[in-house]
Amino acid sequence: MRRGFTIVELLVVIGIIGLLVGLTAPALSMIRAESRNSGCMSNLRQIFIPLRSYSDSIGGLVPICNMLPAVGEQGPEGGLPQLLKGFLDPASEIWLCPADFDPESRETGTSYLYVPGLLRYTPEVQVQVARTVLSERDISDKARTRMRNELEGRMLRTFYEGVEKAPQGAKGGTVRASKYAVVVDSQDRHPGTRQPRNALFSDGEVRENTPPDEEEEEGTDG
């Protein structure tokens, strides 16, 4: 006669199963987070190609558009996805981070901020641009906008190609402007991974968006 499991044995088995589930759940969650993080980094690498192609088509200037698209009656407008539509479909999933579940990102069409779209409004850029553009009186609004974009693109190219001195304590150092991000996650979407917010840099590298002063390169003392 075959003997079945006793209640105690069943409870022990259920307890072991529950313990195993409790141990594996965090690991599975981490695997999913790392997978989404890898997908995000892949997106940014793929954005670099059309971004560089567009830049080449305008003489190597930094492309100028809003930091994020605006949501209009006809859908997203004015951001990087629309600017690069001749090189990359604005509706492509590449524009959306796999870890982004925010409905607003779907409305704007992207999970990523275009940093030059913010830097263009810094006083250093706008004072110079305004001085030049306002000196041209007999031009159309379209020509004025084109001139403004070209000036902003030229100044931002100088910024990204430049080198800033960043002394720290007794040691001097330099921070290359290429260490500043060009495209970046609009939020910290990768908690639990090594890179909470990913970024694409002007040299095509994709990595964590670490502030430049934390990546200071050691210079020569004295």
Write out the H or E segment, with its range, that includes residue 184.
Answer: strand 181-185
Model's pTM, two decimal places?
A: 0.77
Q: Which pLDDT score, from 0 to 100, does residue 123 have?
A: 92
* Residue where the block lists tokens 């402007």: 177
In b/e form, how buried is each residue of 44-61, taking b as 16+ CB within 10 angstroms?
A: bebbbebbeebbeeeeeb
Domain boundaries, the chain: 8-218
Q: Which pLDDT score, from 0 to 100, does residue 24 have?
A: 63
Quote the CA–CA distance of 188 and 155 in Å, as a whole number.
Answer: 29
Q: Which pLDDT score, from 0 to 100, does residue 173 have?
A: 55
CA angle 126, 176, 39 (to 5 degrees): 95
Q: Which pLDDT score, from 0 to 100, does residue 222 have?
A: 39
CA angle 205, 211, 212 (to 5 degrees): 75
* Cα–Cα distance list, 206 to 32, 118, 131, 222 (Å): 20, 20, 36, 33
Quote the CA–CA distance of 149 and 130 in Å, as a whole number.
Answer: 11
Contact between 184 and 119 (Cβ < 8 Å): no
Q: Which amino acid is at 202?
A: S
Q: Which pLDDT score, from 0 to 100, does residue 212 have?
A: 58
Q: Which pLDDT score, from 0 to 100, does residue 176 have?
A: 59
List the pLDDT tens digit at each of the 222 positions of the chain: 556 667 776 777 777 777 766 766 666 777 888 889 999 999 999 999 999 999 999 999 999 999 999 988 888 888 999 999 999 999 999 999 999 999 999 999 999 999 999 999 999 899 988 888 877 777 888 888 899 999 999 999 988 887 554 445 445 555 555 678 999 999 988 876 666 889 999 989 998 887 655 554 444 443
